[in-house]
Amino acid sequence: MPGNLDPANPVDVMPKGLCAAFNEEMRFESFINASYPDGSSDRAPLSLNARHFFKFTRRVTAAQYTALFNFFKAHPVQAFYFYNLRESAFQWDPTGASTAGRYTVVFDGAWADQFIVGRSQVSLGLREVA
């Protein structure tokens, strides 16, 4: 039913130091019903516009690891603002008021890390919800 979902209410802004190293993907997701005996399928788009996904895999220092893990733990299901610094001319707004390059996102998937002497490697993803 249209109108039965409340829009995401962002509660925070991802820290600037953590916004710097994300890879961006754009996807047109669709519903595929492939259960017909002859192999045919029905397909329907889930959205009219592309949805943005951001992937992060890099080595981080102990301070960056702690900041990122604490932010991850504080936002398990809550939406927050993420600034794509390339789109915002490398301007980051701690209040979330600036709309240039701002996305409303949630964490997409689980936390993954590897401990290495001196640095740790962290992998995680973000998914646009608005």
In a domain, 81, yes or no: yes
CA distance 9 to 78: 8
Q: Taking the chain, what is the end-to-end CA distance rounded to the nearest angstrom? A: 18
- The region, left, alpha or beta by phi > 0 then psi within -120 to 50, assigned to residue 39 is left
In a domain, 103, yes or no: yes
What is the domain range of residue 101?
16-21+54-128
In a domain, 95, yes or no: yes
- Provide the pLDDT for residue 1: 47
In a domain, 110, yes or no: yes
Task: Give the pLDDT means over successive 10-residue stretches in the chain (130 positions).
Answer: 64 80 82 81 80 85 86 88 83 83 86 80 84
In a domain, 46, yes or no: no
In a domain, 42, yes or no: no
What is the tally of structural domains in the chain?
Answer: 1
pTM: 0.73
CA distance 128 to 83: 12
In a domain, 65, yes or no: yes
In a domain, 89, yes or no: yes
